[in-house]
């Protein structure tokens, strides 16, 4: 995950700049899609800690080159954020004390001003060498072990106490007391005036990305036109005049499928991340849903991205352009693509083929289907 995360990060920064990476990390839909394309369980609360932990390990050693540093983490690591920010301040000249204040304020707001029953247990403060920042933090409700993730971006901050978030991601819990809502302005003024009576207005809930309780990936979780056009790109025989793809010759169809979805994470517009489950069809999930992680495909995806980034640094942008074209071609194909009802068959085939690509889950290596295994045994005699 760290290697793929670094390759995606380098691609985005090379193509669009570090400011764009910060903006994307502040988008809960894009973040969930990134986690899915990296092989995490597509709807799990563990995406937050796993993705940010993987990115921190990968990005921080390259801070001088990339201009991005990730502070904090889960539990005790979140408390190291002030010290890490001071180190960044010493290295870059940005105002460390000011950044520490922003970090603490964002945590205080989501723990106290948003009364939703979730207590923060992970806090990541992502900062650039120019002093711009994004916060990705998550709280857990002890009763049912559900989680809620909060996103912030310095570019959008006009006030820390009125509509400061770029998004909040979690299961809808009904009405909550949200003192950061615009509608709660009178309540905030009342608190400042030490009025002891309860606030009279229960604020509207933030717009949330709601993840279902089921672990498996279902057709209703996915934009089938978009997924279908991606699979078409990967597995159909393309016309020879697709010059944009010539530089990717030698990359197998299964890796093209993964690269097309990774390409969308790198180059896609914000409107294309409303169905994060679709991105689990790049590299599966560690829990086996929708299928085991195809490790050999994963490694080939990383190698292709890193090769493109390294060549781009030398001014050779053809391979980067080819990867970008994967997303563009599949997007164009959506207009005329009509999905069929073979979604469950698609997942079944991916699972049956998983062993061919080094499929792996937290439970172990994927194995050939039993019938295929018996047929191979017979051939040995």
pLDDT in tens, 169-180: 877 666 666 666
For the chain, the structural domain boundaries read 44-209, 219-362
Pairwise CA distance, residues 32 & 54, whole Å: 14
Angle between helices 46-59 and 2-16 (to 10 degrees): 70
In this structure, what are the phi and psi dihedrals at residue 79, rounded to the nearest 5 degrees? -75, -10
Q: What is the mean pLDDT of residues 114-138?
A: 91
pLDDT of residue 378: 41
pLDDT level of residue 109 (50, 70, 90 thresholds): confident
pLDDT level of residue 365 (50, 70, 90 thresholds): very high
- The dihedral through the CA atoms of 167, 173, 177, 182 has a sign that is positive
Q: What is the DSSP letter of 240?
A: T
pLDDT of residue 278: 85
pLDDT of residue 50: 92
End-to-end CA distance of the chain: 42
pLDDT in tens, 318-348: 888 888 877 777 777 776 666 667 788 888 8
Pairwise CA distance, residues 9 & 65, whole Å: 12
What SS3 class is residue 165?
Answer: strand
Look at residue 190 and tell me whether its pLDDT is greater than 60: no
* Helix locations, 109-205, DSSP H: 185-192
Pairwise CA distance, residues 279 & 266, whole Å: 12
Task: Tally Cβ neighbours within 10 Å of residue 318.
Answer: 12
Contact 134, 126 (CB under 8 A): yes
Average model confidence (pLDDT) across the chain: 79
Look at residue 197 and tell me whether its pLDDT is greater than 50: no
pLDDT in tens, 297-311: 899 889 888 888 888
Contact 108, 160 (CB under 8 A): no
How far is Cα of residue 111 from the mean position of the Cα atoms in its chain?
Answer: 23
- The dihedral through the CA atoms of 2, 313, 323, 356 has a sign that is negative
CA distances for 84 relative to 59, 79, 202, angstroms: 14, 10, 38
Q: What is the DSSP letter of 272?
A: G
Contact 147, 213 (CB under 8 A): no
In this structure, what are the phi and psi dihedrals at residue 148, rounded to the nearest 5 degrees? -140, 130
How far is Cα of residue 331 from the mean position of the Cα atoms in its chain?
Answer: 20
Question: H-helix or E-strand containing 63?
Answer: helix 63-66
Please tell me which residue, 192 or 168, carries the higher pLDDT value: 168
Give the angle 350-354-360 at the CA atoms, nearest 5°. Answer: 125
């Amino acid at each position: 995950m760290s290697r793929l995360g670094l390759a995606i990060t380098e691609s985005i920064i090379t193509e669009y700049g570090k400011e764009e990476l910060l903006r994307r990390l502040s988008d809960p839909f894009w973040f969930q899609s990134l986690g899915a394309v990296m092989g995490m369980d597509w709807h799990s609360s563990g995406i937050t800690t796993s993705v940010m932990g993987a990115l921190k390990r990968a990005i921080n050693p390259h801070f001088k080159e990339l201009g991005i540093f990730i502070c904090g983490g889960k539990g005790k690591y979140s408390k190291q954020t002030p010290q890490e920010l001071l180190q960044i301040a010493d290295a870059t000249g940005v105002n460390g004390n000011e950044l520490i204040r922003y970090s603490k304020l964002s945590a205080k707001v989501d723990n106290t001003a948003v009364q939703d029953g979730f207590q923060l247990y992970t806090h990541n403060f992502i900062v650039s060498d120019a002093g711009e920042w994004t916060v990705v933090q998550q709280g857990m409700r002890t009763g049912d072990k559900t989680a809620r993730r909060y996103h912030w971006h310095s570019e959008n901050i006009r006030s820390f106490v009125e509509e400061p978030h770029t998004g909040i991601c979690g299961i809808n819990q009904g009405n909550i007391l949200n003192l950061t809502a615009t509608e709660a302005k009178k309540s905030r003024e009342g608190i400042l005036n030490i009025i002891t009576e309860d606030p009279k207005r229960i604020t509207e809930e933030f717009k949330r990305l709601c993840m279902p309780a089921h672990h498996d990936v279902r057709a209703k979780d996915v934009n089938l036109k978009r997924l279908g056009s991606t699979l078409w790109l990967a597995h159909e025989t393309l016309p020879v005049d697709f010059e944009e793809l010539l530089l990717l010759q030698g990359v197998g169809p299964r890796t093209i499928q993964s690269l097309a979805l990774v390409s969308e994470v790198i180059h896609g517009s914000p409107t294309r991340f409303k169905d994060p489950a679709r991105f689990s069809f790049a590299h599966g999930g560690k829990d086996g849903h929708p299928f085991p992680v195809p490790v050999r495909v994963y490694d080939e995806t990383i190698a292709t991205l890193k090769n493109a980034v390294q060549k781009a640094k030398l001014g050779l942008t053809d391979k980067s352009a080819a990867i970008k074209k994967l997303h563009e071609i599949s997007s164009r194909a959506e207009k005329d693509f009509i999905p069929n009802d073979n979604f469950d068959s698609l997942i079944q085939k991916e699972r049956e083929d998983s062993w061919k690509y080094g499929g792996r889950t937290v439970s172990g290596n994927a194995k050939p289907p039993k019938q295929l295994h018996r047929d191979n045994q017979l051939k040995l005699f």
